[in-house]
A = this chain, B = another copy of it.
Amino acid sequence: MAETILVLEDDPAMQSFLGTLLKTQQHQVYSFGEGIAALQHLVQQPVDLILLDLGLADMDGQLWLAQLRSWCDTPVIVISARHREQDKVQALDNGANDYVTKPFSAAELLARVRANLRHNTPQQQAFSFGDIRLDPVLRQVSRAGAEVHLTKTEYDILLLLMRHADKVLTHNQILTQVWGKTYTDRPEYVRVHMAQLRQKLEDSPAAPVYLKTEPGVGYRLKMT
């Protein structure tokens, strides 16, 4: 967490409310009441998201947005009391990413903040244990940040173990899932590849911390 958010809002009560709301989510908030000051801040220190109230005192919010977009593509959520279709269309075409009308629900605003922060930072729904990470989207495994190359079979086994983290998977289950149901009498396949995985992923392969053997049963990926 701890993304930075700039709030440009000239009503002090609303500015304070937004600031408090965002800070409950551990965001770093910079609040401004004037467009010029906000721009100066952005030039010096980029932020992850901008909340913009269209009704500014010192300049038109639409103009501010258009000017910002000429050099900066940080996501902008416009907050406005104006419900007219024309205002929404204009703001969105000026480069706003979202448009919320007052009064708004706090939970919805926070959800829209999360949604707009998200596509900035690519989806990290990777599995991890210790300093090992498996990213199923990239089909890539890394250890302490460095990429570890796994063969297809090794990757398939690791993914299977991670999907059932902490559960014991029997030899039969692993053989069936990775090789197919006609291979259930070849437990040595699993052993050889498990040894390879330990070589690549464990600090001391002979005394594994993560890839544990359950004698007579199968294997377990220990995450806790």
Contacts and interface: CB of A to CB of B under 8 A. Distances in A.
Interface of A: 69-71, 73, 75, 85-86, 88-89, 92-93, 95-99, 105, 107-108, 110-112, 114-116, 118-120, 122-123, 125, 137-140, 151-152, 166-168, 214-217, 220
B123 A108 contact: no
Given A215-B152, A217-B152, A73 B123 contact: yes
Contact of A95 (B93, B118, B214): B118
B151 A168 contact: no
Contact of A114 (B92, B119, B217): B92
Contacts of A216: 151-152
A98 B97 CA distance: 9
Nearest to A91: B111
Contact of A107 (B85, B95, B97, B137): B85
A120 B120 CA distance: 11
Given A89-B108, A107-B89, A115 B139 contact: no
A167 B135 CA distance: 10
B151 A69 contact: no
Contacts of A112: 92, 99
